Amino acid sequence: MENLFKIKERNSTVKTEILAGITTFATMAYILAVNPGILSDAGMEFGKVFAATAIASAIATLIMGLVANLPFALSAGMGLNVFFTYTVCLGMGYSWRWALTAILVEGVIFILLTFCNIREAIVNSIPDSLKKAIGAGIGLFIAYIGLKNAGIIVADGGTVSALNAEWYKGSAGLTMLGLVITGTLLIFKVKGALLIGIILTTLIGIPFKLTSYAGGSYLPSAPYFCEFAFDEIFASGKSIFEFCVVVFSFLFVDMFDTVGTLIGCAGKSGLIQKDGSIPKCKQALLADAIGTTCGAMLGTSTVTTFVESASGVSEGGKTGLTAVTTAVLFLLALFLEPLFGSIPSAATAPALIIVGLMMVTPIREIDYQDYSEGLPAFMTIIMMICASSISDGIMFGILFYVVTKLFAGKAKQLKLPILIVALLFVLKIVVQIVA
């Protein structure tokens, strides 16, 4: 085992790597409750999505550990699952099978881009201000969904949305309490704060009859298998075009999420080489792409590298054994579906809000004094929230970026890939006008 993972070469031990893998799982196990809850709003079955999430996470994380020998774990990405449900399915009106088809295509494209070494080039062509704005916008959107699902904010005819007059009781009150509990755990740097917060909030809900045992078998549920809808895609020209836009949006967000997480976690573990490269980066990106493709086949949203991997790295994880340990725990979690299914949305909502907080931090790094950078970034963020659409936020951000740079006489800052993307969004608008 030491030779397989080069544990001694990286100044680690088997015990340290296993403990690091357990720590990583503890900090990201909340996704097993949150992801099925979000995708069930799109009409999918909780049990099937739970199984798909656990299996796809295990597959991708195993590849990361065995092929790339890196201590990073993967699962269904937050933000991408929100985009899947609330933008594609509930917003645009397409079925979850249509959305899974888009993820399958995105995964296949990802594999091809990884083999051709094109992925990094695309990421590098997008300006830093928009990268940061997209991450921050998704974070705020996730927090908004958490507040909405908890019933803390409700629909209001006069102001679109408003504070629930009874936000202090019922599910809304339980969410607020859970937010305080989870926030306190984070303040004291408790490992697995999000998961512990979900468990404690769930337990507190029992005497108030806000938590009930879901029941069911402890034998693993069967996930979906290849539930795709290619016939729906070719139903009309509009559907084909919107399918391409959705695939691009999944691809776009996943690229930045994974590359950014890899760079951040590799730096924390001391794995970045002197030339700035990450060892076996191509294999790491391939783990992400294969995970996404397998996830689509099994019935879950885009799989990506989790920033929570940093928790295991902090515990000393430096090799693929950390990832393999986490993958094994994901497989064991398959036998705990009834427990995860008993967690109420009021207990997962605090995790959504806090994940939103974690994602919004890059907003402070945007140069708002330069309006050719600040305005597109602001439009990206505000349109994601107000239009309840990640793809629309990206569209407005890129279009405003191109237009403001042209008017500011800074056309040289515009790279060819972003001009092509802007043109595609213009075509989308034209099609909508004509239709």
Q: How far apart are CA 254 and CA 246, in angstroms?
A: 12
Split at pLDDT 50, 70, 90, the class of 384 is confident
Has residue 256 been placed in a domain? yes
Has residue 17 been placed in a domain? yes
Q: How far apart are CA 211 and CA 205, in angstroms?
A: 5
Are 319 and 69 spatial neighbours (Cβ–Cβ below 8 Å)? Answer: yes
Kindly state the tokens that stand for 81: 């699952």
Are 137 and 390 spatial neighbours (Cβ–Cβ below 8 Å)? Answer: yes
Work out the angle at residue 346's Cα, subtended by the Cα atoms of residues 297 and 355, and round it to the nearest 5 degrees.
65
Give Cβ neighbours of residue 372 (< 8 Å, ≥ 6 apart): 401, 404, 405, 408, 410
Give Cβ neighbours of residue 109 (< 8 Å, ≥ 6 apart): 247, 251
Distances (CA, A) of 114 to 98, 111, 169, 254, 284: 24, 5, 49, 13, 10
Q: Which residue, among 71, 28, 65, 35, has the nearest Cα to 52 in the 3D structure?
A: 35
Place of tokens 């468990």: 199
At residue 267, does pLDDT exceed 70? no
Place of tokens 């792409």: 289
Give Cβ neighbours of residue 112 (< 8 Å, ≥ 6 apart): none
| Count of domains for the chain | 1
Has residue 266 been placed in a domain? yes
Element (H or E) spanning 155, and its range? strand 153-156
Using a pLDDT cut of 70, give the percent of the chain over it. Answer: 91
Has residue 370 been placed in a domain? yes
Q: Is 157 exposed, middle or buried (0-12, 13-18, 19+ CB in 10 A)?
A: exposed
Has residue 425 been placed in a domain? yes
Q: What digits encode the pLDDT tens for the residues 151-201?
A: 999 887 777 788 988 899 999 999 999 999 999 999 998 877 888 999 999
Distances (CA, A) of 351 to 39, 69, 177, 356: 16, 30, 12, 8
> Mean pLDDT lowest for which of 73-82, 270-279, 294-303, 349-358?
270-279
Determine the 3-state secondary structure of 172 from DSSP. Answer: helix
Q: Of the segments 187-191, 224-228, 384-388, which one has the largest average pLDDT value? A: 224-228
Has residue 224 been placed in a domain? no
Cα 146 to chain center, whole Å? 14
Give Cβ neighbours of residue 166 (< 8 Å, ≥ 6 apart): 172
Q: What digits encode the pLDDT tens for the residues 392-425?
A: 888 899 999 999 999 999 998 898 878 887 887 8
Has residue 220 been placed in a domain? no
Q: Is 385 exposed, middle or buried (0-12, 13-18, 19+ CB in 10 A)?
A: middle
Arithmetic mean of pLDDT, 130-145: 84
Give Cβ neighbours of residue 274 (< 8 Å, ≥ 6 apart): none
Has residue 221 been placed in a domain? no
Domain that holds residue 243: 2-215+231-434
Kindly state the tokens that stand for 158: 């006069």
pTM over 0.85: no
DSSP 8-class letter at 161: E
